[in-house]
Structure 1
Amino acid sequence: MTPQPPGPPDGGWGWVVAFSAFAVNGLSYGLLRSLGLALPDLAEHFDRSAQDTAWISALALAMQQAASAGWALVFAPALGTLSRYFSRRRVLAVGLALTGNGVSSLFLAPALQLLLDTFGWRGALFLLGAVTLHLTPCGALLRPLSLPGDPEAPPLNPLAALGLGLFKHRAFSVFALGTALIGGGYFVPYVHLAPHALDRGLGGYGAALVVAVAAVGDSGARLVCGCLADQGWVPLPRLLALFGALTGLGLLAVGLVPAVGSEDDWGGPLLAAAGAYGLSAGSYAPLVFGVLPGLVGIGGVVQATGLVMMLMSLGGLLGPPLSGFLRDETGNFTASFLVCGSFILSGSFIYLGLPRALPSCRPTSPPATPPPERGELLPMPQV
């Protein structure tokens, strides 16, 4: 009789996978978060509107998560593999990996502004493309891991391999709907936070500082929230709804910040609002992937990760162009951030159905073994 493989090691090579996922996040989402600094130059060079130039980042986000042969094929396996290596410290590991987004934004935002001033937008984008080539070795660090509950053979049906059967589970369907709505507003600051700061009267480096402050808050919150969430004091679905709602409120605050008097003004209110948004969005991010094992079982995590990215890509495709359209119609980004913040609040409200749809996520005292909401005690769904 073939012995069952042990459970997640909660460390070991998993930390190498976490480093790989950290680099993937930094070279993908971190770059896209800073790319908004280049949009005004692109709009001026091609004589296009904010709505038109927003499609650049929107298509990049959508292709990254849906079907791109580059970022998408690195990001989904990195996060899915990482979730399989950890149990009790899963949310912490995911949060640590996702800090790559904020850490890289902290350096890329001022660096991109310097490149734009020195080489122009063409040279700056060429150099950023060269930097992303460092994604290549990240995939070599993703060592496969066998776990109890894994299928003995991969599904022969291509549709089954996609994991579409996961939508038959009410809990995952509720989660998917809420995540799709949140995706409609979550990525707008990646594209339009810097242009919004410029519209509010800040200079180029002032706008870069706003992006950097949001990145610092984002990075710190991902790590701290991951550590606290693993303590099991509050069910993950409720934390997901809470921090999703706070992210939406943060976007509303960013949109309502008044203009500054001059380019020399550091824009204190906007910096504070951007920092609050970064803290909330950073707390939300690791929970999205940390809750998946409790929804689909540990054996379905990789498929579920891909489906979640597909759903968020729909929002990433539609949100920034809608934001650009509202900016063209109103003359500023206030309405853009208000509408996108409302999308996130709506998705967070839907998350409130998760504790009822997922009974194993009711509050309990933390046991010695991993709690059910981490997914190890749930059977793998048949897809």
Structure 2
Amino acid sequence: METSLTGPVGSALSTRWGARPVVMVGGILTSLGFVFSAFAGSLLHLYLGLGVLAGSGWALVFAPALGTVSRYFSRRRVFAVGLALMGNGASSLLLAPALQLLLDTFGWRGALLLLGAITLHLTPCGALLRPLELPGDPPAPPRGPLAALGLDLFAHRAFLVFALGTVLIAGGYFVPYVHLAPHALDRGLGGYRAALVVAVAAVADASARLVCGWLADQGWVPLPRLLAVFGALTGLGLLAVGLVPVVGSEEGWGGSLLAVAGAYGLSAGCFTPLVFGVLPGLVGIGGVVQATGLVMMLMSLGGLLGPPLSGFLRDETGDFTASFLVCGSLVLSGSFIYMGLPGAVPSCSRASPPATPPPERGELLPIPQVALLSSGAPHSTQEATC
């Protein structure tokens, strides 16, 4: 969670000096964190290396890099975000066996050294980021700690609603990635079958990010409405994971759990690019990097609550059924709050323009998604239809 909690710091530094140097420094810090940990002689040494040093480096990489993607693309913005985030899901699936191979071959110290060499590649990747100035950018970097970190965005009602919903959803969103395999083991599945349940959810998650990105960019449905819908589907998927051992037969529930895990992965994968893709429409293209860092922080706050709560409920009840039901309820509550976002609920009195205005041609077009008021608050032009 160190990465996510310090996400606004990476955004603030990127706003002041640009994404390129910040991501390059983040790659160096991440690599040094792994190398430093390879020579650890105590648990505190590992906390400092992997938690503080490498975690801070990741924080300097993620928010500026993802925010830069949102700034570069207009016509296919959400698809681009989904493509960037798909690597995260794919690496989660591939990294576990790769790490085990490294551990078996080189030991944990050698594995950490190799991971340090791999993560150092973030530095040349950061060097490839090209600065881009857009009409919605502020004329000067924000001054003061609140403005630099983007905390002044919480003064806008739309972002405040979005923040509250995101914290609640994050409280349940990460639970399956932590407790889905133990849940399967508790219900009698063997180690390989339990791992298959997690793999099915991970594959569905990674593939859905691309499909949902394409769907969102078609402009058929406003992004806030899609965000609320797929957030609700994610919550229902969590409820289904908790209920399958109750309603399923003793012989067939394993297959049912595979099905609901895949359904959860699809809905959760669709939610991920939307939660970042909706930001330009809420805060304006000039504030999207800062907002990305804040979203990372908000999701980490919810993530710090969900898995411990799930583990506590498992210890009290003897299984994970109550854990998934409670966390699914948190996700559904957050999705209901998303209905307060502009454009999330259909209205007969006003019709908003498409969330992503299609350019005449090309992809890398500096077209802001909304206009900015002189105070920095975003607004969109609407026309009466009734």
TM-score bin (small chain): 0.7 to 0.9
What does residue range 193-232 of structure 1 map to in structure 2 within 5 Å? 193-232=180-219
Contact 2:281 2:355 in 1 (8 A): no
The offset of 1:181, in angstroms, is 0.6
Q: Which moved more, 1:134-143 or 1:321-330?
A: 134-143
Aligned counterparts of 1:193 and 1:125: Cα–Cα separation in 2: 29
**Residue 232 of structure 2 corresponds to residue 239 of structure 1:** no
* Alignment gaps of 5+ in structure 2: 1-19, 31-46, 361-366, 378-386
SS of 1:127's partner is helix
Q: 1:368 to 1:312 in 2, by over 3 A?
A: closer
Contact 2:150 2:290 in 1 (8 A): yes
Which of 266, 287, 297 in structure 2 is aligned with 1:310?
Answer: 297
Aligned counterparts of 2:150 and 2:297: Cα–Cα separation in 1: 12
**Residue 168 of structure 2 corresponds to residue 181 of structure 1:** yes
Aligned counterparts of 2:324 and 2:209: Cα–Cα separation in 1: 22
**Greater Rg, structure 1 or structure 2?**
2
Residue 31 of structure 1 is matched in structure 2 by: none
**Residue 87 of structure 2 corresponds to residue 105 of structure 1:** no
The offset of 1:231, in angstroms, is 0.7
The Cα offsets for residues 86-130 of structure 1, whole Å up to 9 and x where unpaired, read as 1111000001111112222332345567778x58xx956973784
**Residue 277 of structure 2 corresponds to residue 290 of structure 1:** yes
Q: 1:164 to 1:357 in 2, by over 3 A?
A: farther
What amino acid does structure 1 have at the position aligned with 2:370? Answer: L
What does residue range 141-180 of structure 1 map to in structure 2 within 5 Å? 141-180=128-167
Residue 382 of structure 1 is matched in structure 2 by: 376
Aligned counterparts of 1:70 and 1:361: Cα–Cα separation in 2: 43
Which of 107, 119, 142 in structure 2 is aligned with 1:135?
Answer: 119
The Cα offsets for residues 327-365 of structure 1, whole Å up to 9 and x where unpaired, read as 111111111111111100000000011126999983659
Aligned counterparts of 1:194 and 1:165: Cα–Cα separation in 2: 40
Which of 61, 72, 78 in structure 2 is aligned with 1:91?
Answer: 78
The Cα offsets for residues 307-338 of structure 1, whole Å up to 9 and x where unpaired, read as 11111111111111111111111111111111
SS of 1:376's partner is coil
The Cα offsets for residues 32-54 of structure 1, whole Å up to 9 and x where unpaired, read as xxxxxxxxxxxxxxxxxxxxxxx
What amino acid does structure 1 have at the position aligned with 2:254? Answer: G
SS of 2:185's partner is helix
The Cα offsets for residues 198-255 of structure 1, whole Å up to 9 and x where unpaired, read as 2122222222211111011111111001001001000000000000000000011111
Q: 1:306 to 1:366 in 2, by over 3 A?
A: closer
Q: 1:376 to 1:194 in 2, by over 3 A?
A: same
**Residue 62 of structure 2 corresponds to residue 75 of structure 1:** yes
TM-score, length of structure 2 as denominator length: 0.73
TM-score, length of structure 1 as denominator length: 0.73
Q: 1:270 to 1:108 in 2, by over 3 A?
A: farther
Which of 352, 355, 362 in structure 2 is aligned with 1:362?
Answer: 352
The offset of 1:150, in angstroms, is 1.6
Aligned residues: 318
Q: Which moved more, 1:155-164 or 1:330-339?
A: 155-164
* Alignment gaps of 5+ in structure 1: 1-16, 28-55
The offset of 1:376, in angstroms, is 2.5
The Cα offsets for residues 10-38 of structure 1, whole Å up to 9 and x where unpaired, read as xxxxxxx9xx9xxx9xx9xxxxxxxxxxx
Aligned counterparts of 2:181 and 2:64: Cα–Cα separation in 1: 30
Q: 1:125 to 1:82 in 2, by over 3 A?
A: farther
Aligned counterparts of 1:204 and 1:100: Cα–Cα separation in 2: 26
Contact 1:251 1:337 in 2 (8 A): yes
The Cα offsets for residues 37-96 of structure 1, whole Å up to 9 and x where unpaired, read as xxxxxxxxxxxxxxxxxxx9xx97xx89xx941322211111111111111110000011
